[in-house]
Structure 1
């Protein structure tokens, strides 16, 4: 299991955000026992900053009986209530305020966290205190995937986008508690291999984007070096999309991340590399067009869980390295190992 404090770094880089030093110090010193406690801490600290600065505002449609016309007159309810003879009308109008879709989602997330038993009483109390600082006009939205998807379609500033990612991760592990109306239990998202594979891949790619200047960092589509009698047959070839490509004038590294429990698998009483992973990387290397003066290399990177691995080969004329990254060590060691890997 990845230590909870290190999850902070993985998530920050995966979400393309340089870790904040003051926040890192508070995370590093806190005795977190569950990932939910870390996510709640990040949600609270980010929400406090938004409240100090002032929650974002947007125009929301309001409907009310008015003595003066404003916006659009809604004839059907106005006539049904016989309001015209009273000098009144039902109007629909836009009003600027903090009751935006994002703020509604944030309030809904805090409402759910304020009731769960998966947080300490002190943290639940702090959640309720921060929720109480919201303007009364902000109405909680259901803390659901549909609401998250709706907010995801909006163009949010960086601070709100980070909190949206936190909310999404919290909601992903949320399950209703049986026989406990209104309460929610939460799974440890570190057990979700597909999710963690995506986090690990994005973490590595964005770490190199933010922490070094030698290479251009991208995820690239590789074109098959193939021909066919009928050109339409080429459309059936699968896409080749690298996890991370690091490129300079004299060196190109195709780095494929694999979030697996082990880099080796037992086969006939011996440990072997996972063949599909190696075949995939080999296909990437073999289909790269040659550039004079540029060394092409391949790396398979696994998180170290059961044992450390560092294997080096030459395949098809290209250096290939299969290596593990120890995510259980202090963050400084993780950063050092990643930088040394492409040195």
Structure 2
């Protein structure tokens, strides 16, 4: 469900499924075909399946510091606390030790989010039954205050990479970012967080990687500065890295895409709407440095997610021999139309191609 200025809830699921390959596995197939009235219910469905799946594989465990008073020393002796214990005539020693535990930050965030969804009126009764079943297996895990979760401490590696998608959903839920309107849709202004922008960027990248296999390169590549002459290595560290969002190559042709997810696409000054100058300068810099030989084979495109603005950018310019412009991707339509827009961008710059 949506309005003409919202985003189809189901499209959020499709974006997630491209960004996180785990959602394309069999466990989640029933979610893809289900119709959701509220985004909260969709997230509850994904988390219920995801946590249940993780329980079968085994919850992520990491070493957590513990302090105990024991009759036998374990780990390191806590001398000040031991003295206090002995003064109380207790024949025990205080010690600190590391213990491999499921009660860590990653599982604590999962449990906290599931409990929040359990109290959410937009989550269906059937879904709440699923959440309760999952929560039974998290009884040894502590609950956190959402406002005090240290999100920046989360790091993913091989042992906990399955948590990345789940905890990103938890972030959306706990920050109340996806506020539904009366008819079950939600507006673009609710998606102003960096994580939603990253999801949009990652979706576009993974879409091209999966469906445009004829491309010789699909990645988020760095562009090297077109430096002339010798430069001291100590000086080069002052140059910022030029990290592209999406770098597409088809033989000698290159297309650099910069995904933009803003509440306002255009900058207004003196009753005139223009592209944000910083965005245009950025893509121009990427293209010109990549095309150091001045072949004209490198192009750049700003891909904005459509907002509530009546004017949306759809323009292309020849700037010094390179095609540079902006395009608007409308997420408020059937997903097949969204993919058609992405296919159209590739066809425009690379010509006819085999899908």
So what's the TM-score if we normalise by structure 1?
A: 0.75
Residues 301 and 147 of structure 1: CA distance in aligned 2, closer, same or farther (over 3 Å)? closer
- In structure 2, the partner of 1:301 is 303
Instruction: Verify: 1:191 aligned to 2:190, yes or no.
Output: yes
CA contact (8 A) 1:219 1:241 kept: yes
**In the alignment, does 2:40 pair up with 1:36?**
yes
1:69 paired residue number: 73
C-alpha distance 237-47 of structure 1, shift in aligned 2 (>3 A): closer
Tell me if the contact between 1:99 and 1:137 (Cα under 8 Å) persists in the aligned partners: yes
Looking at structure 1, the residues matched to 98 and 238 of structure 2 have their Cα atoms a distance apart, in angstroms, of 51
In 2, are the aligned partners of 1:110 and 1:131 still within 8 Å (CA)?
A: yes
What's the secondary structure of 2:137's corresponding residue? Answer: coil
Stretch moving more, 104-113 or 287-296:
287-296
Pairing partner for 1:5 from 10, 13, 18? 10
Coordinate RMSD, CA, aligned: 4.0
Q: Which residue of 2 aligns with 1:203?
A: 203
Instruction: Please say which of residues 55-64 and 162-171 is displaced more in the overlay.
Output: 55-64
Contiguous gaps of at least 5 residues in structure 2: 1-5, 179-185, 348-355
Contact residue 36 and residue 188 of structure 1 kept, 8 A: no
Using the TM superposition, give the Cα deviation of residue 163 of structure 1 relative to its aligned residue in structure 2, in angstroms.
Answer: 1.3
Deviations 1:259-278 (A, max 9, x none): 35787789999x96536354
Residues 167-208 of structure 1: CA deviation (Å, up to 9, x unaligned): 122222279xxxxxxxxxxx9776233544443223223333
SS at match of 1:81: helix
- Indicate if the aligned counterparts of 2:28 and 2:49 stay in contact, CA closer than 8 A: no
Greater CA deviation, 276-285 or 98-107? 276-285
Q: Distance in 2 between matches of 1:82 and 1:132?
A: 40
1:212 corresponds to which residue? 212
Contact 1:57 1:97 (C-alpha < 8 Å) held by counterparts: yes
Judge conservation of contact 1:110–1:127 (CA < 8 Å) in 2. Answer: yes
From the superposition, tell whether residues 154 and 34 of structure 1 become closer, same or farther in structure 2 (CA, over 3 Å): same
Q: Alpha-carbon deviation of 1:18?
A: 5.8
Alpha-carbon deviation of 1:157?
2.2
Q: Shift in Å at residue 149 of structure 1?
A: 2.5
Contact 1:309–1:323 under 8 Å retained in 2: yes
Correspondent of 1:60 among 61, 64, 74: 64
Q: Give the Cα–Cα distance (whole angstroms) in 2 for the partners of residues 9 and 247 of structure 1.
A: 25
* Distance apart, 1:251 and its partner CA: 0.6
Bigger relative CO (Cα 8 Å, ≥ 6 apart): 2
Question: 1:33-75: per-residue Cα shift (whole Å, max 9, x none)?
Answer: 2322222222211101111222122333333333333223333
Residues 39 and 226 of structure 1, relative CA distance in 2, 3 Å threshold: farther
Distance 1:84 1:260 in 2: 63
Q: Secondary structure at 1:132's aligned position in 2?
A: helix
Shift of 1:11: 3.0
Distance verdict in 2 for CA 1:219–1:67, change over 3 Å: same
| 2:114 equivalent in structure 1 | 110
**Structure 1 unaligned regions, length at least 5:** 176-186
Shift of 1:20: 1.2
Cα distance change of structure 1 residues 170 and 139 upon mapping to structure 2, 3 Å threshold = same
Matched positions, count: 325
Distance 1:278 1:77, change over 3 A: closer
TM-score, structure 2 normalization: 0.73
Structure 1 partner of 2:3: none
